[in-house]
Amino acid sequence: MTGSHVPVWEKTMNIACYLSDPPKGFKMYKSMIVCLNTCRLAHSFRENPVIREDWIKDFWDNATTKKGDVVIK
């Protein structure tokens, strides 16, 4: 990106998934964290991905869905 513009999502994108032992008071989530750490997608949770804002915008600018015979943009 150019300039000083930092998207809001970029400021917090690395806190979306907490995969360490849960803090006191949240032990009920331990089994879910174990599952996330052992699933096939665990690597993607731990990586710091390159997110292309222009690709996301392009996707949403061109996304369509179909309901019956009607195409919705």
pLDDT digits (tens, 9 = 90+) for 21-70: 887 888 888 898 888 888 888 777 777 767 788 888 898 889 888 888 88
Tell me, what's the pLDDT at 7? Answer: 62
H or E stretch at 54:
helix 53-62
pTM to 2 decimal places: 0.40
Residue 2 has pLDDT above 70, yes or no: no
> Phi first, then psi: what are they for 65, rounded to 5°?
-135, 160
Tell me, what's the pLDDT at 21? Answer: 83
